[in-house]
């Protein structure tokens, strides 16, 4: 009898967890309904975990003239994380072959050189025939494809892609920071 009650209790608990996860996925904006692998260990990550946050999505590279932007991206993340900003980094080797390393090499470089703590994901195709589904949606929403490393997309709390920013737009850029603050206030 005790075993039967324990089993029933566990079963009901698993249904509750499943129903909660299903409800969260249903409420998740379409742009975030993607699973990508985490850079550090290739663990699948559902981007719906960032629903309700303002997201700055950036394709990155370790050996680019813009690589120093990691420092500014980490500073943005640290400054605005408590208000709901998340920076999402997607290494890509599509521009000048400037991200040739393994996931471990990229993760070590980002953390050891720039102290990157914002979420980073496995190497990603951000353009072309093999573009990732997430980036395909970003491109469709803005009408603009990344032209180089450190191209940025800003997504509001409801999952609307607000704007794309070129590589020369630094994380400290006044217009970018203003748009982030505006999105965080809404």
- CA-wise closest residue to 154 among 42, 41, 58: 58
Give the integer Cα–Cα distance in Å for 26 and 42: 25
Q: Which residues are catalytic?
A: 64
- By CB neighbour count within 10 A (0-12 exposed, 13-18 middle, 19+ buried), where does 111 fall? middle
């Amino acid at each position: 009898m005790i075993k039967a009650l324990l089993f029933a209790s566990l079963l009901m608990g698993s249904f509750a967890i499943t129903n909660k996860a299903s409800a969260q996925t249903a409420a998740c904006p379409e742009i975030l309904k993607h699973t990508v692998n985490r850079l550090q260990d290739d663990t699948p990550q559902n981007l719906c975990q960032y629903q309700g946050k303002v997201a700055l999505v950036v394709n990155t590279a370790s050996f680019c003239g813009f690589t120093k932007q990691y420092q500014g991206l980490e500073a943005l993340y640290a400054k605005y994380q408590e208000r709901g900003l998340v920076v999402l980094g997607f290494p890509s080797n599509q521009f000048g072959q400037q991200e040739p390393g393994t996931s471990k090499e990229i993760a070590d470089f980002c953390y050891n050189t720039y102290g990157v703590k914002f979420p980073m994901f496995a190497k990603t195709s951000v353009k072309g025939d093999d573009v990732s589904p997430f980036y395909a949606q970003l491109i469709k929403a803005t009408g603009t494809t990344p032209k180089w490393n450190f191209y940025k997309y800003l997504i509001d709390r409801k999952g609307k892609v607000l704007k794309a920013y070129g590589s020369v737009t630094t994380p400290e850029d006044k217009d970018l920071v203003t748009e982030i603050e505006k999105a965080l206030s809404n």
